[in-house]
Amino acid sequence: MLAVIRVLTTQDENLLNAHGRIITAKYGLPTRSYCIPDQPEGIYNEETERIAVPKIVRLARQAEEEGAKAIFISCAADPALQEVRAECKIPVIGAGSAAAAVALALGRRIGVLNLTEATPAAVAAVLGAHMVAEARPEGVKNTRNLLTPAGKEKAVKAAGELVSKGADVIVFACTGYSTIGLAGELRGRLGVRIVDAVEAGGVVARYTLQN
């Protein structure tokens, strides 16, 4: 079983399990989803990431105790990745570094679709000089904003800007784009490869759990 740690608080079972369903549907892996408490808007800046770290570590320990064979932190900032790896004996995958690695396997001019102004360090560190452009949806402040038709429309527009800046691969630096099915909207429409961060995490998880 792959534990999927969501970094926003929700009582909506459909929303909670959205990323796990993507991984199960594409890769056949059983998943169990967990969410951190008291952060209904998720992680969207340094302060919200800081307060989320101990919560993620606690959930990771719980997941390992409940039989998880690997852990997927479903956030492109890879919050608490090193801390969880230090605490748990099972493999731990971060969405951001996984997505960036897959993007580099597909091209060398990577455009990053962010949620906030700055590309997460976990993504930028892997891409290095191959990150040729970055963009974000205008007026979108957190992952909840993406759950509206307007938020999705603005994300599509921002992705188009990356292509106009020379990107031959677009990587999502927010797993909220997975929740709204943005990859499906863009594939075949922009003429470039699209790397969904949750799908990328699933690729790594499948490889990990088969070895």
User: Coil, helix or strand for 31?
Assistant: strand
Per-residue pLDDT tens over the stretch 78-136? 999 999 999 999 999 999 999 999 999 999 999 999 998 889 999 999 999 999 999 99
- The average pLDDT across 21-46 equals 95
- The average pLDDT across 26-55 equals 95
> Are 113 and 68 within one domain?
no
52: domain range? 2-95+200-209
- The average pLDDT across 168-183 equals 95
The number of domains in the chain is 2
> Are 27 and 55 within one domain?
yes
Query: What pLDDT is stored for residue 117 in this prediction?
Result: 80
> Are 28 and 87 within one domain?
yes
Residue with tokens 């191959």: 130
Query: What pLDDT is stored for residue 145 in this prediction?
Result: 82
Query: What pLDDT is stored for residue 143 in this prediction?
Result: 78
Q: Who wins on pLDDT, 79 or 146?
A: 79
- The average pLDDT across 159-179 equals 96
What share of the chain in percent tops pLDDT 70? 100
Is the confidence at residue 147, as pLDDT, over 90? no
Q: Who wins on pLDDT, 141 or 9?
A: 9
End-to-end, the C-alpha distance of the chain in Å comes to 14
Query: What pLDDT is stored for residue 188 in this prediction?
Result: 82
Query: What pLDDT is stored for residue 146 in this prediction?
Result: 83
Which of 147-151, 161-165, 167-171, 205-209 is predicted with the least confidence, judged by mean pLDDT? 147-151
> Are 6 and 75 within one domain?
yes
Query: What pLDDT is stored for residue 210 in this prediction?
Result: 85
Q: What pTM was estimated for this model as a whole?
A: 0.94
Is the confidence at residue 62, as pLDDT, over 80? yes
> Are 129 and 85 within one domain?
no
CA dist 193 and 188 (Å) reads: 9
Mean pLDDT of the chain, nearest integer = 95
> Are 79 and 122 within one domain?
no
The set of long-range contacts for 153-159, using a CB threshold of 8 Å and a minimum separation of 24, is 155/113, 155/180, 155/182, 156/182, 156/185, 156/186, 158/113, 159/111, 159/113, 159/135, 159/186, 159/190
Query: What pLDDT is stored for residue 183 in this prediction?
Result: 95
> Are 155 and 177 within one domain?
yes
Inter-CA distances, 5 with 79, 93, 125, 160, Å: 11, 10, 22, 30
User: Coil, helix or strand for 191?
Assistant: coil
Which tokens in the block code for residue 81? 């990745």
Classify the C-alpha dihedral 34-38-43-44 as positive or negative. positive
Q: Who wins on pLDDT, 118 or 201?
A: 201
Q: What is the CATH number of the domain that holds 102?
A: 3.40.50.1860
